[in-house]
């Protein structure tokens, strides 16, 4: 039976799939607002009129976008006035959230098992490589299935 945590991970992975394509999108150097506005041959004053703000406020907004300090609310408002829908989300760098958890679980398990193994070697009670690999796999599976909070320490 699948655990509730596994179901949540699977659901999130399915929601994030469409965002993987977004990783290939190159953000325009001058930002989306400026790029769209200039492509439409729209002046800052014209966009400002639509947003009921000044030309200088549009210039400031475009600058904030290039600096990454523009609010999501502002991006959404601009999109609405330009008859566009602003979208945002996250795309996993790994193949999926599940793979990200798995990789982190393996790293964590390896760290724990090797620390324990080192202490056992000091006491002349070392394990074979096969035993260590099996212990890492078992612990990683346990950590992954539980998605322990300590995974993110």
**55-81 pLDDT per residue, tens:** 999 999 999 999 999 999 999 999 999
Q: For 40-128, where are the alpha helices, taking DSSP H only?
A: 44-51, 55-67, 72-81, 97-122
Instruction: Report domain extents, the chain.
Output: 1-20+92-153, 31-81
Please state the pTM of the whole predicted model: 0.76
pLDDT for 41 equals 98
Q: How far apart are CA 139 and CA 135, in angstroms?
A: 6
């Amino acid at each position: 039976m699948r655990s509730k945590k596994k179901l949540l991970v699977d659901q999130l992975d399915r929601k994030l799939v469409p965002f993987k394509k977004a990783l290939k999108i190159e953000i325009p150097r001058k930002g989306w607002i400026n790029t769209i506005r200039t492509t439409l041959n729209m002046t800052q004053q014209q966009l400002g009129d639509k947003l009921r703000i000044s030309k200088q406020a549009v210039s400031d907004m475009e600058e904030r976008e290039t600096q990454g300090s523009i609010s999501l609310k502002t991006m959404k408002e601009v999109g609405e006035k330009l008859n566009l829908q602003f979208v945002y989300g996250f795309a996993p760098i790994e193949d999926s959230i599940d793979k990200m958890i798995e990789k982190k679980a393996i790293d964590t398990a390896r760290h724990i098992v090797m620390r324990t193994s080192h202490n056992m070697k000091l006491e002349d009670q070392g394990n074979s490589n096969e035993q260590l690999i099996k212990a890492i796999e078992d612990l990683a599976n346990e950590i992954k299935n539980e998605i322990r909070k300590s995974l993110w320490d």
